[in-house]
């Protein structure tokens, strides 16, 4: 008897690993889709030294699918986890950034070498591809299934692979997973909020950040009957993939004492969007969530449109505006839905994902690269062998050639650890995260 449509993964086990909060939410979204199809699911949060997820971040990940169990272990135990799940897992979802995707894939090639049966490898993005897009896709090219946000991303990946004489058959467009469950919000409150969504590394310069804070204060003063909410990406003790350049939250908090309707909120973005009348950001993925929910959305154009800011991604969205225009008319929906549908909002994206997983499971898996090398996208076997023997696995990461920067970062990290250890901040931060 054939399985019902909603039980096509019955008897299968799907495991996901993730290091950062955005990747954890995406991995959990994909696990939830698999669980609804009958699969047994679990998520492993792999903690990185000095960048562990806080209790609040873990709770937000859990809210995505409360029925999928979450386990914590250090990133250094990835290889032992891979050995444990090799025989009893059908699908392994890698919710990892580019550098750790390459590292994980290299480890798996070694650990699972010679295995006739192994888990299928899946990789996806938690957000927009607006910087190092091809590089990031090639980082993940060793996966059996690479889930991409749009046809544009697929074309970029296809061109990069073809230039190396490789096919792109492992890639499929599933839309942005965070938008799979996005639905237009219900009835708006009488005085809907205006929410600014911060990003940890954008904008870079302190003067740009101070300007944004002053403009948000002016916006709150212009609309005193509406809450103007500043949504920090994280709190000061929490970690993201990208290092924070500076705290805007502290500046805004000081301003709230003089402007009553200017507020700070750490609520999840999806919850804030339910009562939001206008979502503002420089280039956050939250803009796509807002558009998908039918919320008026504005991309800040005051600082210019550049790759550094990432707002060039939204150039054709119809939502770019300066703060003068935002103050004049914040609540009118002006974004281009056709553009949105091309850039990540995919009808039945979850169904496309499940179909792609099933298709590849039925087709069978190709052997992973042998001899200690990884995907051919990372360079010739000769180069990979040379790079690993002289620089270790890290040399094959997408940032492997930026060694001079790494030395300076390593020095700063050592000084930070020494300082934190001497005054006790390191212990305090770890305790607060838990």
**Mean of pLDDT values over 158-184:** 93
Residue 234 belongs to a domain: yes
Among residues 287, 317, 341, the one where a domain terminates is 341
Read out DSSP for 387-409? HHHHH-GGGGSTTTT-HHHHHHH
Residue with tokens 């010739």: 380
- 355/145 Cα distance (integer angstroms): 11
Residue 96 and residue 32 share a domain? yes
Provide the pLDDT for residue 1: 37
Name the domain count of the chain. Answer: 2
Residue 420 belongs to a domain: no
Coil, helix or strand for 44? strand
Provide the pLDDT for residue 427: 58
Provide the pLDDT for residue 259: 94
**Mean of pLDDT values over 13-36:** 94
Residue 103 belongs to a domain: yes
Sequence-ordered strand ranges (E) for 111-253: 120-123, 145-148, 171-173, 193-197, 228-231
Residue 418 belongs to a domain: no
Residue 173 and residue 242 share a domain? no
Residues 345, 175: contact at Cβ < 8 Å?
A: yes
Q: How far is CA 398 from CA 77, 135, 200, in A?
A: 22, 7, 21
Range name among 89-103, 225-239, 264-278, 406-420 with the lowest pLDDT average: 406-420
What are the backbone angles phi and psi of residue 207, rounded to the nearest 5°? -65, -40
Residue 153 belongs to a domain: yes
* Cα 115–Cα 119–Cα 121 angle in degrees, nearest 5: 115
- Domain containing 254 — which CATH number? 3.40.50.2000
Provide the pLDDT for residue 201: 79
100, HSE (Cβ side, Cα atoms, 13 Å): 18
Residues 41, 27: contact at Cβ < 8 Å?
A: no
**Mean of pLDDT values over 377-389:** 88
Residue 170 and residue 101 share a domain? yes
Q: Which domain holds residue 36?
A: 5-181+345-378
Residues 351, 37: contact at Cβ < 8 Å?
A: no
Buried/exposed code over 309-327 (b: 16+ C-beta within 10 A; e: otherwise): bbbbbbeebbbbbebeebb
Provide the pLDDT for residue 415: 65
- 148/172 Cα distance (integer angstroms): 6
What pLDDT digit, counting tens, does each position of 301-358 carry?
999 999 999 999 999 999 999 999 999 999 999 999 999 999 989 989 999 999 999 9
Predicted structure pTM score: 0.86
Q: Sign of dihedral through CA atoms 235, 236, 242, 248?
A: positive
Range name among 75-89, 201-215, 240-254, 346-360 with the lowest pLDDT average: 240-254
Among residues 341, 356, 389, the one where a domain terminates is 341
Q: How far is CA 70 from CA 76, 122, 357, in A?
A: 18, 18, 22
Pairing relationship of beta strands 296-300 and 228-231 according to DSSP bridges: unpaired
Q: How far is CA 227 from CA 67, 256, 297, in A?
A: 34, 11, 16
**Mean of pLDDT values over 237-253:** 64
């Amino acid at each position: 008897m054939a399985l019902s449509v909603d039980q096509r993964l019955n008897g299968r086990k799907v495991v996901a690993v993730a290091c950062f909060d955005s990747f954890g939410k995406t991995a959990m979204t994909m696990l939830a889709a698999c669980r609804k199809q009958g699969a047994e699911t679990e998520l492993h949060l792999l903690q990185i030294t000095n960048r562990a997820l806080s209790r609040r971040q873990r709770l937000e990940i859990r809210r995505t699918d409360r029925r999928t169990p979450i386990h914590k272990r250090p990133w250094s135990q990835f290889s032992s986890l891979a050995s444990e799940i090799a025989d009893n897992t059908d699908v392994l979802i890698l919710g990892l950034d580019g550098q750790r995707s390459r590292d994980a894939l290299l480890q798996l090639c070694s650990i699972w070498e010679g295995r006739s049966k192994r888990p299928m490898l899946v990789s996806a993005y938690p957000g927009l591809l607006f910087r190092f897009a091809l590089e990031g896709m090639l980082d993940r090219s060793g996966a059996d299934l690479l889930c991409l946000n749009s046809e544009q991303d697929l074309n970029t990946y296809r061109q990069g692979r073809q230039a190396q004489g490789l096919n792109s058959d492992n890639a499929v467009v599933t839309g942005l997973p965070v938008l799979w469950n996005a639905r237009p919000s219900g009835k708006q409150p009488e005085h809907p909020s205006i929410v600014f969504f911060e990003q940890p590394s954008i904008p870079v310069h302190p003067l740009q950040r101070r300007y944004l804070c002053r403009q948000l204060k002016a916006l709150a003063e212009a609309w005193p009957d509406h809450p103007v909410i500043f949504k920090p990406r994280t709190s000061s003790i929490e970690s993201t993939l990208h290092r924070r350049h500076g705290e805007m939250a502290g500046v805004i908090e000081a301003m709230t004492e003089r402007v009553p309707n200017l507020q700070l909120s750490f609520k999840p973005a999806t919850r804030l969007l339910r009562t939001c009348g206008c979502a503002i950001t420089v280039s956050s993925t939250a803009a796509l969530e807002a558009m998908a929910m039918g919320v008026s959305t504005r991309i800040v154009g005051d600082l210019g449109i550049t790759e550094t800011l990432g707002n060039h991604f939204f150039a054709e969205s119809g939502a770019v505006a300066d703060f003068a225009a935002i103050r004049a008319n914040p609540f009118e929906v002006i974004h281009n839905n056709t553009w949105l549908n091309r850039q990540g909002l995919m009808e039945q994206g979850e169904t496309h994902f499940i179909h792609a997983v099933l298709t590849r499971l039925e087709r069978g898996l190709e052997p992973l690269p042998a001899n200690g090398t990884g995907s051919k996208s990372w360079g010739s076997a000769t180069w990979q062998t040379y790079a690993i023997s002289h620089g270790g696995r890290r040399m094959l990461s997408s940032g492997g050639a930026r060694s001079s920067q790494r030395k300076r970062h390593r020095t700063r990290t050592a000084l930070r650890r020494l300082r934190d250890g001497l005054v006790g901040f390191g212990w305090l931060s770890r305790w607060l995260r838990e």
